[in-house]
Amino acid sequence: KPSAKISPSILSADFADLGKDAVRMWDYGAEWLHVDCMDGHFVPNLTIGPPVVASLRKRTKAFLDCHMMVSDPAFWVEEYGKIGVDGFCFHLESVAQVPPSQEDFGKLKSLCEMIKDNGMRAGVAIKPGTPAESVEPLVDFGMVEMVLCMTVEPGFGGQSFKPEVMPKVKYLREKYPELDIQVDGGIGPKTIDIAAEAGANVIVAGSAVFLAEDPKLVVTQLRKSVES
């Protein structure tokens, strides 16, 4: 599988001290930074938008991995591109029916093209209940470079990992050996081995990193598990 990327979720950081937390994650060896952007519509929570993402961009060299939990991802693409975000990962369910209709594929294709035209990598996220088959055409036609398999219902940090999502990760890994497969939700030293074994290589962890006594050790442990 592709190289491991550890992406601490800034959602569990101290929002009054985001710059400091972003910098220390890079120092701990995390090459990605996961930014959960929620609009209060797609999910019942409201978090970070362009002004804050722009401030984060100025503080860190990390790959800014924006997880867009918003109802209208296309609306944000240009602005995030201008800010210098690296990865723009939208939710399939925000753009399409499940499974997507023929018309939906047209919309998905233009959204992914727009993301790339604005200088970002495109990713698609699916909720725990959304089948892998719904995103296969997006991978097959090279529309996305990453699939995010949510291992909790999106909206909040600190929830429990859903092992029932692992068959989906396994299925995608078997079919796409080179694909970046991200897992997000309830990942920490206790659950990482299951996710890594299923084939995930891009690892998001919020509370497990930020609430740890030794966050650096957790980042190291996560990486070791994915690389072994």
Choose one: 49-57, 129-137, 157-165, 172-180; the region binding ligand DX5 (CB under 6 A): 157-165
Between 21 and 36, CB nearer to Zn ion: 36
Q: Which of 158, 163, 175, 193 binds ligand DX5 (CB under 6 A)?
A: 158
User: Does residue 7 belong to the site contacting ligand DX5 (CB under 6 A)?
Assistant: no
Query: Alpha helix (H) ranges present in 34-163?
Result: 50-59, 73-83, 92-95, 102-117, 136-140
- Tell me, yes or no, if 104 is annotated catalytic: no
d(CA 197, CA 19): 33
Sort residue 158 into left (φ over 0), alpha (ψ -120 to 50) or beta.
Answer: left
Rg for the chain, CA atoms, rounded:
16
Please tell me whether 141 is known to bind a ligand.
Answer: no
Q: Which residue is nearest to ligand DX5 (CB)?
A: 206
Q: Exactly one of 17, 27, 36, 86 is catalytic; which is it?
A: 36
d(CA 215, CA 208): 8
* Rounded (10°) angle between helices 18-27 and 215-227: 50
Q: What are phi and psi of 165, to 5 degrees?
A: -80, -15
Say which entry of ligand DX5, Zn ion, none residue 207 contacts (CB below 5 to 8 A, set by partner kind). ligand DX5
Q: What are phi and psi of 2, to 5 degrees?
A: -65, 170
- Tell me, yes or no, if 117 is annotated catalytic: no
Between 113 and 200, CB nearer to ligand DX5: 200
In this structure, the number of other CB atoms found within 10 A of the CB of residue 23 comes to 16
User: Does residue 65 belong to the site contacting Zn ion (CB under 5 A)?
Assistant: no
Q: Which of 85, 132, 184, 194 binds ligand DX5 (CB under 6 A)?
A: 184
CB of 11 to Zn ion, least distance (A): 7
Between 111 and 205, CB nearer to ligand DX5: 205
Contact map string, positions 85 to 124, toward ligand DX5, x by CB under 6 A: ----------------------------------------
CB of 45 to Zn ion, least distance (A): 11
Instruction: Collect all residues with Cβ–Cβ distance below 8 Å to 206 and sequence separation of at least 6.
Output: 8, 9, 10, 11, 12, 34, 157, 158
Check: CB of residue 32 under 8 Å from CB of residue 7. yes
User: Does residue 67 belong to the site contacting Zn ion (CB under 5 A)?
Assistant: yes
CA distances from 93 to 69, 124, 127, 154, 164 (A): 10, 10, 8, 11, 19
Q: Hey, which residues are catalytic here?
A: 36, 184
Bind-site residues for substrate: 9, 67, 155-158, 186, 206-207
Binding site for ligand DX5 (CB under 6 A): 9, 11-12, 34, 36, 67, 152, 154-159, 184-187, 204-208
